[in-house]
Amino acid sequence: MATIKDVAKRAGVSPSTVSRALSGKVPVDKETRERVMEAVRALNYKPNILAKGLKEGRTNTIGLMVPNICNPVFPAVARGVEDVAREHGFTVILCNTDENIEAEKDYVEKLQKRWVDGFIFATAREESQHIFELKEKGFPVVLVVRHMGQAVDAVVIDNYKSSFEAVKYLINTGHRRICIINGDTSLTLYKERFEGYKHALQAAGLPIMPELVLDVAGRDDNGYGAVTAMLKKGILPDAVFATSDPRAIGAIRAIKDCGLSVPGDVSVVGFDDLDISAFLDPPLTTVSQPLYEMGARAARRLIDMINGEKSGQPKVELVEANLVIRKSVKVREH
Amino acid sequence: MATIKDVAKRAGVSPSTVSRALSGKVPVDKETRERVMEAVRALNYKPNILAKGLKEGRTNTIGLMVPNICNPVFPAVARGVEDVAREHGFTVILCNTDENIEAEKDYVEKLQKRWVDGFIFATAREESQHIFELKEKGFPVVLVVRHMGQAVDAVVIDNYKSSFEAVKYLINTGHRRICIINGDTSLTLYKERFEGYKHALQAAGLPIMPELVLDVAGRDDNGYGAVTAMLKKGILPDAVFATSDPRAIGAIRAIKDCGLSVPGDVSVVGFDDLDISAFLDPPLTTVSQPLYEMGARAARRLIDMINGEKSGQPKVELVEANLVIRKSVKVREH
DNA sequence: AAGGTTTGTACAATCGTTTGCATAAAATAT
DNA sequence: ATATTTTATGCAAACGATTGTACAAACCTT
């Protein structure tokens, strides 16, 4: 494990000269530089990032907080973050928080002390006071997928609009009894998707029927049970709007298990557009979120902040989500 | 950003005393310790991990190399790694390599210099010379999912056996023309799965028919195209053994798109048992890999190595995979 | 040829910890 | 009471890099 001193000795110069030859910020004699480089190669010298970080006050590392990497929306986001990070010489630390604010706080506390230069949170909740505090302290923070008002920079889709459009599409294709399988309504994101659903119905003069509003909570609950229960009670929607693709998959399974067909009896629309969604039976009509792109943008934004491009006001960036139409919705005549 | 000196000043002691009070390795007067602790609390002091790492020569960080976190087998592995790592006070750096050995080498070079204390590779290939070198240099390394002979510690399933059992199950349920959709055969893992397929066929006195052996390469290729092409040529298997669940999904879609039914005309067996696999149509019979457990075990092993429990000989740990039978296979009479 | 620049390099301090050594104070033994 | 051990603490060096300051040598200028 060669240090800068070893290189210096071999090149017959001082450590400072080695440092300068390597950084290139200060002129170094051409011939000296070559001797240094040759020594660097010979000893396979790589600077110790800890020492460098200690001196410079930064580590070129970012922390990425996700609820659970096993939730299929997050790998794509993580990938976007990592690709951009690497491009800029940054490294990514991955943290799963399981929606546990205390666990997240611990993690943040630990990483924040000179470990990481900034955070990307895909975990923001209304109660996430610590994110505000971080931001206020001047620590670089960007949110992705979920946002917190206008106070913190974020990269998200317009959940209200996407949901509105999806439900409007169902209405336009002749559906009247539209069920929604919603996620954890303590999350703004699902509140917004629910608002979109409600307003699309209202705009068309359709009533909101409580028996068609299904909430599922835990992370492993894809709605199979809730849909089955509804159907068994004899409540029959003509369409299901699932607020995630796994929930759409669960709904389809439940509908079929009750002897009904998709989309023959019940149409289904999902949300996410996972890799496999086009290959389901039927191929899923779903709202496509540009997850990779969102991760990439969030990372770019964060790195700009870290590099001191203080962008004054925080900005919530909206990226386009769009409904991709496949075969899980049937046009109904009345 | 309070340092140990600030704490020392506030508690009226020297930095060394603070360090000792905190580490607990050396006796410190009860009353002094309390003053220190109180100062720590008051200033919200957290040790600077960089400085600590620099001094101690370790960082309590591990590097996790995966081909691509978007491949659905890896999130579960990553989660297992991360949970165990956190339990032991370690942090995980996530790296996607896209099967690119050069990219991986760069990453490793960079991280290795005092950034991370060890590596978990889910990316091992036969050509991965650098992993051997790392191992030989005495750097802690554990493989997961893929292994490299007996030379490097690893946590894997018995791919040969699992594949053999899956195909044997198809044979026992009356299938005679069994197609395999295999992955990248430059990977030992897929070689082994292919061997299992071959030997199961041979053991039953069945021929290996080249037109039923489909190889798919790239990461986004789920075999939909290959299966469709085969079917269009009029080649009709009575079962498909897919070496991953996404490939099973692609195969099912292709079969149905050709107007055939699963499992009526063609049975399908997958490999992985993803979260959604039970909810497909038909619910997928598939080899279940304990991915989370594998990640967790790999992490435990690595941390033991880092902590100096030199386990002499490297050990390749086999974990149990088992076929979970659902509805994508039909029993056929002859 | 003498003074003034420029250029290249070395020295030493610094980042925030940990730890071996030295020492003072307290506890124990004689 | 003195000598000896134990206990608690401080000092200073070290980990491996970066960088401001200082100085020597080489280059100009007139």
DSSP assignment of A50-89, as one string?
HHHHHHHT--SEEEEEES-TTSTTHHHHHHHHHHHHHHTT
Check if residue B12 sits with its Cβ under 7 angstroms from strand D.
yes
Strand pairing of A285-288 and A322-324?
antiparallel
Task: Give the gap in angstroms from C-alpha A180 to the nearest C-alpha of chain B.
Answer: 19
Rounded to the nearest integer, the mean pLDDT of chain A is: 94
Supply φ then ψ for residue B314, to 5 degrees. -65, 150
> CA A54 → C1' C5, Å?
36
Please judge whether B249 and A75 are an interchain contact, meaning their C-beta atoms are less than 8 angstroms apart: no
Please judge whether A279 and B253 are an interchain contact, meaning their C-beta atoms are less than 8 angstroms apart: yes
Please give the CATH topology (third level) of the domain spanning B59-157+291-319: Rossmann fold (3.40.50)
Please list, in sequence order, all residues whose beta carbon lies within 8 angstroms of the beta carbon of residue A228, skipping any fewer than 6 positions away. Answer: A254, A257, A258
Tell me: the pLDDT tens digits for A41-64?
999 999 999 999 999 988 999 999
Buried b or exposed e, range B246-263, using 16+ CB within 10 angstroms: bbbbbbbbbbbeeeeebb
Mind listing the pLDDT tens digit of every residue in chain B (334 residues)?
Answer: 789 999 999 999 999 999 999 988 888 899 999 999 999 999 999 999 999 999 998 899 999 999 999 999 999 999 999 999 999 999 999 999 999 999 999 889 888 876 899 999 999 999 999 999 999 988 999 999 999 999 999 999 999 999 999 999 999 999 999 999 999 999 999 999 999 999 999 999 999 999 999 999 876 789 999 999 999 999 999 999 999 999 999 999 999 999 999 999 999 999 999 999 999 999 999 999 999 999 999 999 999 999 987 667 899 999 999 999 999 999 998 7
Please give the CATH topology (third level) of the domain spanning A4-47: 434 Repressor (Amino-terminal Domain) (1.10.260)
Q: Which amino acid is at B315?
A: K
Select from B70, B93, B222 the Cβ nearest to the Cβ of A92. Answer: B93
Full DSSP string of A152-208? S-EEEE-HHHHHHHHHHHHHHTT--SEEEEE--TTSHHHHHHHHHHHHHHHHTTPPP
Helix (H) or strand (E) holding B42: helix B30-43
Query: Is A249 near chain B, with CB under 8 Å?
Result: yes
Please judge whether A54 and B59 are an interchain contact, meaning their C-beta atoms are less than 8 angstroms apart: no
Check if residue B311 sits with its Cβ under 7 angstroms from strand C.
no
Backbone angle region of B55, left / alpha / beta, with phi > 0 → left and psi within -120 to 50 → alpha: alpha
Average pLDDT over residues A126-144: 94
Interface test mutation site (partner A, options B113, B224, B273, B284, max chain A beta carbons within 10 A): B113
State the number of CA atoms in the 13 A half-sphere of A74 facing the CB: 23
Provide residues 53-92 of A with CB closer than 7 Å to any strand D atom.
Answer: 54-56
Domain ranges in chain A with CATH number 3.40.50.2300: 60-157+291-319, 159-289
Tell me the three state secondary structure of residue A230: helix
Check if residue B10 sits with its Cβ under 7 angstroms from strand C.
no
| CATH number of the structural domain A60-157+291-319 | 3.40.50.2300
Q: Chain A residue with minimal CA distance to B245?
A: A276
Domain ranges in chain B with CATH number 3.40.50.2300: 59-157+291-319, 159-289
Please give the CATH topology (third level) of the domain spanning B159-289: Rossmann fold (3.40.50)
Domain ranges in chain A with CATH number 1.10.260.40: 4-47
Tell me: the pLDDT tens digits for A85-102?
999 999 999 999 999 999
Tell me the three state secondary structure of residue B253: helix
Dist. CA B200–CA B334, nearest whole Å: 19
> CA B28 → C1' D7, Å?
9
Structure tokens at A244: 């995630």
